Each structure stands twice: as C-alpha cells, then as structure tokens.
Amino acid sequence: MKALVLNAENKTASVQEIPKLQPGPGEALIRVAAIGLNPVDALYTFHPLGATGRTVGSDFAGVVVEVAPDIAKDVHPGQRVAGFLQGACSANERPGAFAEFVVCPADLLWRVPDHMSLAHASAISLCALTAAQALFYRLGLPAPFDYPSSSSQQASNTNQSKDEITVFIYGASASVGLYAAQLVRRSSEATGTRIRLIGAASTARFPLLRAAPYSHDALVDYRDPAWPARVRALSVGGKGIDYALDCISEGTTVQTVCGTLNPTSGRMAVVRSRAARAWSVDGELSTEPIYGAVWEGLGVDVQYHHGIVVPASEGARKFAGAFYRWLESGNGGEAKVLAAPVRVMPGGLEKVVPDGFAVLGGGPVRERGSVQDRTEAWMAPISAEKLVYEIEGGE
C-alpha cells in the first residue's frame, strides 16, 4: 500500500510503498477515503520527533474492510467510519493515518452519518476531541453525554451552581474553536444550563461565528488591544469569564486570556504546554491553565523530546470512547456536530507535503501566511478551514 513516510534526517516525508497492515486484537482495518490535515502533522514532519520510516498523519475517514475476531458486532466491514492516529507526533513508535489503509482501535472509531461525506468526516475526530477534552474532561463544563469522571473533577467545578455562566473561546475561528462552540451549545441544550458564549477572532470571521451552529453571543476582534476589557465587560454580571479555552496558546495569549477570568472561580484550558515553551508569562498567573494532549485519548504513554512524557490515562481513553459514541449517536438524524469548513485539496497523498504542509507551515500560528510564488486558489492562506485530501479508491 502507499503511505506518506517520514524522513527524519531530511525533515520531510514522501509517498512510499509499504506492507499492507493487518488488524491486531481490538482493531479494525480501514480503507482510507480522505485525510484531514492538522498543524501538528506538518510541525512534526519539518521538526521530527519520530524516526525515519514512520507513517505520518492523524485524521482519517474511510470504510471498514476487516475486523479482528475479538471485536463486537457493532463494528463490521462496510461501515463508514472516522478516527485519528498519532502519526509521527511523538518519539514513540505509533501508526499514522496518511496511507491507503490504516488500523485503529475499534473503540476509537465513530460511524459517519449517511448524510456526511467522508471528506468532511476526516476533519472532525482530532479537533473535536481536543475541544471536548478541554471543555468537559478538564474544565468540568457539563457534558451532553455520560463518561467516567473522578471525584476531584466533579468537586472542583463551582461554576455549575450558577444560573448563567460565561464561556470564552480565544481563537474562535480555529478548527478547535469551531468545534468548541458547537459543544458549548450542545452542553447548554442537554443540561439546561444558560451559557453566554464569547469568542475572539478576526472581524472577517464574525458572520460565520454568529451563525449556527456556532451561535456566539458576542465577538471581539483579537487585533483590538482593548479586547480583554471588552470580554470582561461582556461576561455575566461583568464578573469575568467562568470557562476559557485558548485555542492558540502561543506567546502572550495565555497570560492575556487568563486576565479575563472571574478571579474567584474562573478556569481555563490551553492546547499547548508551557513545558514545550510554546508560551511564557511575565510573573505569576492568577489561575494555572490546564493542559493536556489530545493523544491522552489513545490511552498510551506519549513521549516528546526534552524528557516530556504524557502518561497513559485510562480515564482519558474512556472519555474519548464515550465522546465518539455520543458523536455517532446522531447517525440516524441530525449530526451532533457539523464538520468545520473544508478545503478539498487536489493531488492525493503526493501533494500533502509540497502543498498542504506548505499552506499549514511548520511554525507558530502567528507566522503563517501566503506561500510565496504559489498563485493557485488552493494555496491561499488558511483561516476557518480544514485542509482535506481525498485518497483515490478509498470510498
């Protein structure tokens, strides 16, 4: 089969022929129809953590072709499914998604609704789980589904007793932010909690973010130096934010978002760690941000360079499974979440590195821009979109 394989020494990846995979215990073999690109895929290709020979890529969607004998009958050949793998995003040996076939633990797959294309489904798994982990599993916002939670998680959430709460999403037009807004709305609908949703983004994205399914109550321009004060003023009672999610988590964003919190009960989550030096602060923060990698959902140890290890978490694995079961429960009707807007890129696997990764870049969000000397429409700067490649013969 063809796969996009890492060359760590040359800091790139290329399409190669590798042996076709076979499902192990608890796994399903999927013929890939579409792959969704995430910034981490490009980052860890251009700045490798893994060794040469790793298949890169995280998000995929396709059709089940084979299952291990120990898998329950609710996963079977012919099903349209989506999921995510870790690709070359750690120093551990992990399988990747950018290939003609992948194997994935069956409990981390979700069935794609009939009315949703596999191209759109490939844009959901990783970013939607990132948002769900941050909002529900880490911050304690009431979830629209049941999952095993620790007593410390339940006891730490003092905001649930309020008549109305405020949630703030910085980077609201980023893919994680788009899914976070939808999950906030699902939380309010399922639990009856009144939630005021505020987002920070560029003004060009305000019409998108005001409309369903995101339905922000208020928006601020992240380029406006006065936005933190505006956010505090827009919060319920002007008391500050109850739950904040910083979807950028670079440079000074964490410190600035932290300054919008309710000083007595506000909590915030970040998507990048301080240990990895993605962000720094001058002095002390009023509240320590909560960080956790989406890879925790795989239930395995994740090792980075510099001795950073994210330990295996049985709770995070169970949460991921519960989230995907809820996600697929809309299979017969309205989808639980809608895919973020996608840009279907031409060329298949061979064009992922020269085109897709070039658009994403291999550095911070603030440094992304146009690709020099490329004038094709699909090479335009990316904003409020996911890049998707369709794999020939996958569906």
Residue 30 β-bridge partners: 64, 102
Would you state the pLDDT for residue 320?
97
Tokens of 47: 């700045």
Tell me how far apart the alpha carbons of residues 57 and 110 are, in angstroms, rounded to a whole number. 18
Look up the pTM and report it.
Answer: 0.95
Instruction: Specify the higher pLDDT residue, 374 or 73.
Output: 374
In this prediction, residue 103 carries a pLDDT of 97
> In the chain, count of helices (H) and strands (E)?
10, 17
pLDDT score of 91: 87
Cα→Cα distances 338→125, 145, 212, 378, Å: 11, 17, 10, 22
Q: What is the DSSP string of 308-332?
A: -EE---HHHHHHHHHHHHHHHTTTT
Q: Which residues contact 16 (CB under 8 A, 6 or more apart)?
A: 2, 3, 5
| CA pair distance 317, 314, nearest whole angstrom | 5
Residue 196 per-residue DSSP state: E
What are the pLDDT digits (tens) for 41-96? 999 999 998 899 999 999 999 999 999 999 877 899 999 999 999 988 888 888 89
The span from the CA of 253 to the CA of 251, in Å, is 6
Is pLDDT of 152 > 60? no
d(CA 340, CA 379): 18
Pairwise CA distance, residues 59 & 108, whole Å: 12
Q: What is the pLDDT of residue 154?
A: 47
Domains of the chain by start residue, with CATH: 2-124+339-390 (3.90.180.10), 126-312 (3.90.180.10)
CA nearest to 62, candidates 94, 90, 92, 101: 101
Helix (H, G, I), strand (E, B) or coil at 360: helix
pLDDT per residue over 170-221, tens digit each?
999 999 999 999 999 999 999 999 999 999 999 999 999 999 999 999 999 9
